[in-house]
Amino acid sequence: MTIVVPFDGSGLAEAALVRATEFGSVFDEDVLAVSVIPNGNRDYARERDWIEQDEEFDLESVVSTLHKQVTDLCPSADFRHKVVDRYAPSGTISKRLRKVVRDENASMVFLGSENAGHLVTAVSSVAGTVAAEDSYDVVIVRDRSPAKIAKLRDASTHNNPKSDFYLPN
């Protein structure tokens, strides 16, 4: 089984990935970080610091940036990206994430979200929609605590890097 972490590069996503990796080591499960990228959407990419303010959108560069961020934090985690339409609504993004979770037969999903745990059914964010599913356990990470993340990352026994990065067609 697999632990899945929706990963957008935010501080909370980083915290969720590190915590998922620690759980994975205890439960002897693989960890998969998944990024859903609206292709060509510069504003979306800039809001998430995937590209600089003066930089044009380049899918390969965005994927590479996210992959590097994942492997820098948790080298043993797998990384996958999915591409959606340029102006895909959050519902499309969450559907794509839920499909990956189902396809991977995930045992748990670690969500970095400030509000998904307050009232899951009332949240209109991607995290709220993914958290509402009942076929897997959900851990909501609301504390980004960078110092703890660095300490956990450095202490992790799962720092063996995965295979070389590639971009699927």
pLDDT in tens, the chain (169 residues): 899 999 999 999 999 999 999 999 888 999 999 999 999 999 999 999 999 999 999 999 999 999 999 999 999 999 999 999 999 887 899 899 999 999 999 999 999 876 554 444 444 455 555 655 566 777 788 776 654 555 555 665 555 555 555 555 5
Tell me if 166 is assigned to some domain.
no
One-letter-per-residue 3-state SS of 7-75: CCCCHHHHHHHHHHHHHHHHHCCEEEEEEEEECCCHHHHHHCCCCCCCCCCCHHHHHHHHHHHHHHHCC
In a domain, 163, yes or no: no
Q: Tell me the CATH number at 150.
A: 3.40.50.620
